[in-house]
Amino acid sequence: MAIIWMDGTWGDRTTARISVFDHGLLYGDGVFEGIRAYNGRVFRLKAHLDRLYDSARAIALTIPMPLEEMGAIIEDGVARSGLKEAYIRPIVTRGDGDMGIDPRKCVKPTILVIVDSIKMWAADRYENGLTMVTAGTPIPHKESLNPRVKSLNYLPHVLAKHEANTAGADDAIMLDAAGHVCEATGMNLWMVKDGVLKTPPPHAGILLGVTRAVVFELAAAAGVEAREEMLNRYDLYTADEVFLCGTGAEIAPVRQLDGRPVGDGRPGPITRNIIQRYRALTRGD
């Protein structure tokens, strides 16, 4: 069962309550992180909290506790949960306000930390690969809300996921208005061509994922060239391998995109190598 810390008190999903006037609910006015713990050890906690506090700063939201205190709450929650593998979701909203949009009406931010488990796809998808489609819903313009802010505004990604569901696919690729590949519905994307790993750069309008940074580290350790490059669907259609990465998804191979097999339709050698290295890093396999 999930346990939840909210403004100083531990509870669960039956006791945790948030005001209907909270601006996180009314306007998506807030930021969050998704963090994993393996064998009771929180993975890349500092990197996640740095991004959380940077996201809050970018939207002029002051988190009323030091970063170190937030980290201690998260580690306490993992210990309390008793979960061997936990998924942690710290959330900071603008707080309780009124029906108006003015952030000055919110006197104090609301802070929550949810500790639970997560399952993105069945085990066979990680073994055999995901099927994906290109979403018609474009990713939000990068100048409207900087994608490096991990905000509570995820409606375009939800709609893209709905498109994948309707098409009978596991997930969707999101493009910008010019047709450049950006990311999946909540994961960064990688492709392999001629032995080189490629992923969209920050100016493509993507969230700079913590797991994305880990993949660069793993590729370097494996002696595989990894670089940032603007990509389009042609690049993915002709790729040798494609995979997704994210805290919740971990490393997930893709076997089909828009009805076209990726490579030979099976997870490729570089993808399998990265998966193995990621599992060794996180779980000690």
Which of 263, 239, 259 has the alpha carbon at shortest distance from 134? 259
Q: Are residues 144 and 254 in the same domain?
A: yes
Element (H, E) at 257: strand 250-257
Q: What is the pLDDT of residue 141?
A: 87
Q: Is 105 an active-site residue?
A: no
Residue 284 pLDDT class (50, 70, 90 cuts)? confident
Over residues 222-276, the pLDDT tens digits come to 999 999 999 999 999 999 999 999 999 999 999 999 999 999 999 999 999 999 9
Instruction: Let me know how many helices (H) and strands (E) the chain has, helices first.
Output: 8, 16
What CATH number did the domain enclosing 20 receive?
3.30.470.10
> What distance in Å separates the CA atoms of residue 241 and residue 239, rounded to the nearest whole number?
5
> What distance in Å separates the CA atoms of residue 90 and residue 159, rounded to the nearest whole number?
23
Domains held by the chain: number: 2
Q: Which of 116, 150, 167 is the last residue of a domain?
A: 116
Over residues 175-227, the pLDDT tens digits come to 999 999 999 999 999 999 999 999 999 999 999 999 999 999 999 999 999 99
Residue 149 above 70 pLDDT?
A: yes
Residue 165 above 90 pLDDT?
A: yes
Q: What is the pLDDT of residue 92?
A: 98
Q: Which of 116, 143, 169 is the last residue of a domain?
A: 116
Higher pLDDT, 144 or 273: 273
Active-site residue (options: 105, 150, 161, 193): 150
Q: Are residues 76 and 91 in the same domain?
A: yes
What CATH number did the domain enclosing 208 receive?
3.20.10.10
3-state secondary structure (DSSP) of residue 160: helix
Q: Which domain holds residue 107?
A: 3-116
Q: Are residues 162 and 43 in the same domain?
A: no
Q: Are residues 178 and 106 in the same domain?
A: no
Q: Which of 64, 88, 116 is the last residue of a domain?
A: 116
